[in-house]
Structure 1
Amino acid sequence: MEQDPYARNHRPHRLATPTPPPEGDPYRVKPSSDGSSRRHKNDRGVVKESKAKKHTYQELEEFADDPYAGQRSRHHKDPQSRAISYLPYSNHPENHYAPFDEPMYIEDDLASVDQTTNKKSSTLHDSIAMEAVDYLPNDSQSMDQLTSTPKHGSNNHLSLSLPSKRKQAKRGCCGISRRVCVYSWFGFIIVVGIIWYFVWPRTPELYVGGASLHSDPQWSNVSSVYSLETSWNINFTADNSVNWVPTQMRNMHFLAYDPLTGATFGTADTGHFVLAAKAQTIITIPMNIAYNTTSVIDPTFQNLYNACGPQKSGNYSQQILRIAFTVTHYISGMVGSSSASIMPSGSFACPIS
């Protein structure tokens, strides 16, 4: 039988006989003077020393940040740290200089951002992250420049929408500033008011003077109708001292009536004439007198007959005529007309001859 070249040599003495170490081995066990092995003695001391250090805190302090250390050892080391944590590396100290990964939210400053972008504020400001909002305009201005009060003379984006005072002044009225325009209007109104005060026409005052017979009176009694027809020239004094300029009178309409009964018995119109300013002018008005009634005891007819009728006896005395005038003024420069009542200051004698 051939021998197996790969078979291991049977050496039973190998288990009991150690292989001698080679020469020059630093870890070779040298016998001591007492014949014992130094390595064997040292190995037992190392084992005892490791057992003694197993429950000391020196080894724990050397590996303070060991994530794989036992929970009991870490409990003895740092009792104030987290007791239980399921997060990885939760016992590591917090790094304050690390980048902040949590989103930041803005609440108060979004109003100023909306004002700069002309957008309405939304109730979802609390849920908008800072990373998703572009708070800087195109010209890379900071938030401090947007929220700060604009200084005088500073050029910001708000100055583009608000015209300057100089531009507003040029846009006043007729190419002049608003202040000058307002002062000019006030001055114009004052000048117009002064001119108006002097040139505005006012109604002159009239006073009744005497009267003269312009035509003979005609009394008639036909079919129980009693009538009187005549014409008088009545003098009036026009006091135009209230006017600073001559007054252009378009017409003055007169009505003569009985102040007791109110019955009218005379009319007159002057036509156009001019009254001198700051002067008293006597004007003579021809007035037509006409009155008729069916009763001989009519108060107005009795007033006219007793004051202006024919005298039947020498001892018959003439009575005073009750008369009053209503004057309607039509003055150039005035819209409409004005009326006034005039009564004689004394007795008015009826002209009979």
Structure 2
Amino acid sequence: MHYRFIDVRGIDDEPRGDFAAQRRGQRNGLCGAEVPGQLHMVTGLHTGDVGFRIELHTKEPPLGARWEEAVEVSFRTTTAEMGLHAFDDSYEFSLPPGDYRVRYCARGMQQGEEEDTLSGEQPIDFYLLQFWPSRPPAPDRILRQTSNAAAYWHRQDRDIEIPPDERLVEERRIAAEQEQYDRTRFGDRVPNDRLRDAETYIPSFRALDDDLMWALGGADDELHRAVARWAALRALSIAELTANPMVAPTVSALQQGEHPPAPFDEQVPDYSAYKDHIPDGVGVPRLPWTCEPGDDRPQERSVAALYAVTATNNSDSLSAALNAVQHTAAAYGADQYTQFLTDLWGAFPQLRLGNQASG
């Protein structure tokens, strides 16, 4: 992945038209389909690997709850040999010639945009491209929008004026979809704006500890920061990194209630800055809800611990706490994370009181 763009076109076809031409006259900005036989898609990550899956269906599939962004376009292909092109890389797939409706879904797009260049081995944003036969062609649609990253691209270069009555219908539909999406993410409880906008994958945290999510959502900035720093220190301890000469100044800063110094002063780890100074960590079983079926690769403790540390730098204190806790749980691994959570609740009894008051 380079420059945030992925194309679908015939395997031997050359790209035609610039990005503006690809989506001229559209309402959505994530998947351009205005150049016949080609799709032009946007990702959050600028450079690095993203998760990407292509599916062919016989009829319109349901929109999965895990996807945070979703748009639809109409598409026609005259060749069966298609390619997914990302800068110098291409991946072949077959698609019978014909008319299709296409749904492009994204998860983790905001996180991908903020990281910009992937520093670890595992993707942080994921995409799904679904095709099913459909005639006649229909206008493109925004089905779901939850992130600032997606909102930016929907606004960028939009060159059509939507009539007020159509705009109202679209706004109501998106609002209804947002309400349904919130129910899928949060259940029957209504999140406050901070929790709804938190830069983390909510279903994963709910699987980890639903009560803790609500408790942190209702806590103040000071408590968020305290939890984030405490969790990061626990992650460094379980990964046996507290005595590492490069990490020791960060341990001291966190203990004093300060942000980590360089090279851990970014929101995501910069492995190029310290890869020769941090030893390979112990591999532990991944939290089961964080990996795809059949993926039994272990989680490297040191990697998860450093993600916990840099999570404390998030400008939003709630996001800092949620992400630091999740990464620390990952560092403990599937066999030990419950002990970490027990210790966290014990270290911050005010969280339990706040959760009881808001439940």
What is the TM-score with the length of structure 2 in the denominator?
Answer: 0.16
Q: Larger relative contact order (C-alpha < 8 A, sep ≥ 6)?
A: 2
Report which of the two structures shows the higher radius of gyration computed on alpha carbons.
1
Structure (1/2) with the larger strand percentage? 1
Structure (1/2) with the larger helix percentage? 2
What is the TM-score with the length of structure 1 in the denominator?
Answer: 0.16
